[in-house]
C-alpha cells in the first residue's frame, strides 16, 4: 500500500485551501456549488475527482471544523443520491440532487418494517399503480431522521405475484404528503431526533418519482446499503462518525485516567484496533486510486467497526468510575473539531447500541461475509422463488 498521500505542498491542496480562505464560513450550498460535497461525482454535481483529490477536499473540510455534509445529509450526499446517477432520470437528478447536496432538503430511507425483521425483501408496504400515480400503503420503522426529512427514499412492493426479491421498486416521496405520519421513537439518549416509525396511508406518489424501473428496487437498495456500509468502515465511535480511539487515548492521558493499568491496557487494545480501521480506510482509498471496485468488503468492515465503536464509548464512560453513571457532557476532553451529534461522549455511549443493528444486523453481515467473501454455502431460503402473495398461504415444504 502506498502511504505517500498528498502533502501540504500539493498544488491541489493549496488550491482547495485558498478557496476556503476566500470563503471562511461557507454554507453547504456553496460547498455543493463548488463541487466539494461529492467531489468524486461527475459534473455538474461533483468534480469528476480522482480519489486523491476527494481525499484532499474531505480533509480540508474537516480542517475548517465544519461538519462534513455526508454527516449532515448522508442519504442524499452518499448512498441514495449517488444511486440517482445510475438509475434516476434527468428530471429526477435536476429536481432532487441540488437541494440534497446543499443539505437544504434532508433525506431519509424508508426501508425496514416491523414484520420483516432483518429480511428487507419480506417487506409488505404496497405501491399500487393508479393512472399517473402510485398509491402507497404500509408501515416503516427505525427510519433515521424521518421527523426532519423532506424526501423519503421508499422501497415498496409493486408486484405481489413476483418472488419477494423481484417485486420491489424504489420511489422518492415527499415526506409532507397527505397520508404520511411520522412518530418519533424515544431512545436511551433521551432525545427523539434519530429513529422514527412512519405510517403510509394511501399516499399518492407521482409515477415519475419511480427510480429506475419497476422490479429494480432490490438491486438499487442493496447497492445503496453497500455504499453506506463502506462509509461506516471508519475508526470512529458510531456509524463511522464521532471520536476515535485516538481521541479516547488523548482524553485519558489529559485527565490522568491512563495511569490506571487496567484502563491503560484496554485503551491500548482499542488504539490498535482503531489503527487497523484507519489502515483499512487507506486501503479502500488505495483501491479506488487504482480503479478497483470496492466489492463487498464494506460488510466485513461495518461488522467489525460497529462493536469497536461501542467499546470506545464504553471505556470512555467506565473510566469515570461511579461518576460515569451521571450525565456529564465533559466525560473526556475532545479536540476542537466537529464530530456532529456525537460530540458528546454520553450521547455517543447511549446511542452506540444501535450501531450493531442499523444498516444490517451483525447476523446479516456475518451471513454475507460467509457467503460472498468466504464462499461458504448459501443458507437455504425456501421462500426465495415463491410468489410473495403465496408465501404465507402455502406450507413451507411446498415452497422448497
What pLDDT is attached to residue 400? 34
Residue 258 grid coordinates: 491512563
Cβ atoms of 123 and 137 within 8 Å: the answer is no
Q: What is the mean pLDDT of each run of 10 residues along the chain (400 residues)?
A: 72 95 95 94 92 89 88 88 92 97 96 83 94 97 92 97 94 98 87 85 98 95 76 72 88 93 95 86 64 63 86 91 76 73 81 82 84 85 87 50
For residues 32 and 36, give the distance between their C-alpha atoms in angstroms, rounded to a whole number. Answer: 6
Half-sphere exposure of 33 (CA within 13 A, CB side): 8
Long-range contacts, stretch 263-267, CB < 8 angstroms, 24+ apart:
263/315, 263/319, 266/315, 267/315
28 φ, ψ (degrees, to nearest 5): -65, -30
pLDDT of residue 208: 97
Whole-number CA gyration radius for the chain: 22
Q: Are strands 151-157 and 107-110 parallel, antiparallel or unpaired?
A: parallel
Q: Which residues are catalytic?
A: 228
Give me the architecture of the 107-222 domain, per CATH: Beta Barrel (2.40)
Distance (Å, rounded) from C-alpha 188 to C-alpha 181?
23
Phi and psi for 357 in degrees, rounded to 5?
-115, -45
- To the question of domain 232-360 being in CATH 1.20.1250.20, the answer is no
Structure confidence at residue 66 (pLDDT)? 87
Cβ 385 vs Cβ 398: under 8 Å: no
Q: Are 318 and 324 in contact (CB under 8 A)?
A: yes
Enumerate the β-bridge partners of residue 200. 138, 180
CB-based burial of residue 217 (10 Å sphere; 0-12 exposed, 13-18 middle, 19+ buried)? buried
41, containing H or E segment? none
Domain ranges of the chain: 11-66, 107-222, 232-360
Helix (H, G, I), strand (E, B) or coil at 165: coil
Bond from prior residue into 88 cis (ω within 30 degrees of 0): no
- Among 375, 326, 385, smallest CA distance to 350 is for 326
Phi, psi of 398 (to 5 degrees): -80, -15
Question: How far apart are the C-alpha atoms of 385 and 400, rounded to whole Å?
Answer: 9
DSSP letter, residue 187: -
Task: Report the C-alpha dihedral over residues 108, 113, 118, 124, rounded to 10 degrees.
Answer: -120
All three cell numbers of 294: 470496492
User: Residue 199 to residues 117, 140, 175: CA-CA distances in angstroms?
Assistant: 17, 6, 11
Amino acid at each position: 500500500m502506498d502511504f505517500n498521500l498528498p502533502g501540504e505542498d500539493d498544488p491541489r491542496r493549496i488550491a482547495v485551501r485558498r478557496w476556503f480562505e476566500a470563503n471562511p464560513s461557507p454554507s453547504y450550498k456553496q460547498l455543493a456549488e463548488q463541487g466539494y460535497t461529492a467531489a468524486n461525482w461527475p459534473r455538474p454535481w461533483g468534480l469528476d475527482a480522482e480519489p486523491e483529490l476527494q481525499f484532499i477536499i474531505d480533509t480540508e473540510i474537516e480542517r475548517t471544523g465544519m461538519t462534513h455534509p455526508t454527516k449532515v445529509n448522508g442519504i442524499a450526499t452518499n448512498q441514495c443520491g449517488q444511486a440517482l446517477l445510475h438509475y434516476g432520470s434527468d428530471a429526477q437528478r435536476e429536481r432532487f440532487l441540488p437541494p440534497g447536496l446543499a443539505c437544504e432538503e434532508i433525506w431519509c430511507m424508508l426501508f425496514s418494517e416491523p414484520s420483516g425483521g432483518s429480511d428487507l425483501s419480506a417487506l409488505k408496504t404496497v405501491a399500487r399503480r393508479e393512472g399517473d400515480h402510485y398509491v402507497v400503503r404500509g408501515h416503516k420503522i427505525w427510519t433515521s431522521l424521518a421527523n426532519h426529512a423532506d424526501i423519503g427514499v421508499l422501497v415498496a412492493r409493486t408486484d405481489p405475484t413476483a418472488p419477494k426479491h423481484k417485486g420491489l421498486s424504489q420511489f422518492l416521496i415527499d415526506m409532507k404528503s397527505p397520508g404520511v405520519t411520522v412518530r418519533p421513537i424515544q431512545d436511551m439518549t433521551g432525545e427523539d431526533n434519530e429513529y422514527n416509525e412512519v405510517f403510509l396511508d394511501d399516499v399518492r406518489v407521482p409515477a415519475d418519482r419511480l427510480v429506475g424501473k419497476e422490479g429494480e428496487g432490490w438491486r438499487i437498495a442493496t447497492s445503496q446499503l453497500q455504499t453506506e456500509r463502506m462509509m461506516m468502515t471508519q475508526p470512529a465511535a458510531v456509524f463511522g462518525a464521532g471520536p476515535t480511539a485516538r481521541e479516547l487515548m488523548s482524553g485519558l492521558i489529559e485527565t490522568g485516567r491512563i495511569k490506571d493499568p487496567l484502563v491503560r491496557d484496554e485503551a491500548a487494545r482499542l488504539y490498535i484496533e482503531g489503527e487497523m480501521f484507519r489502515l483499512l480506510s487507506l486501503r479502500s482509498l488505495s483501491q479506488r486510486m487504482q480503479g478497483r471496485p470496492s466489492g463487498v468488503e464494506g460488510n466485513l468492515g461495518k461488522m467489525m467497526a460497529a462493536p469497536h465503536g461501542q467499546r470506545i464509548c464504553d471505556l470512555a464512560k467506565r473510566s469515570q468510575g461511579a461518576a460515569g453513571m451521571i450525565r456529564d457532557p465533559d466525560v473526556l476532553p475532545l479536540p476542537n473539531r466537529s464530530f456532529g451529534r456525537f460530540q458528546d461522549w454520553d450521547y455517543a455511549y447511549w446511542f452506540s447500541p444501535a450501531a450493531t443493528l442499523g444498516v444490517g444486523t451483525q447476523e446479516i453481515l456475518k451471513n454475507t461475509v460467509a457467503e460472498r467473501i468466504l464462499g461458504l454455502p448459501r443458507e437455504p431460503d425456501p421462500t426465495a422463488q415463491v410468489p410473495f402473495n403465496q408465501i404465507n398461504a402455502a406450507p413451507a415444504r411446498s415452497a422448497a
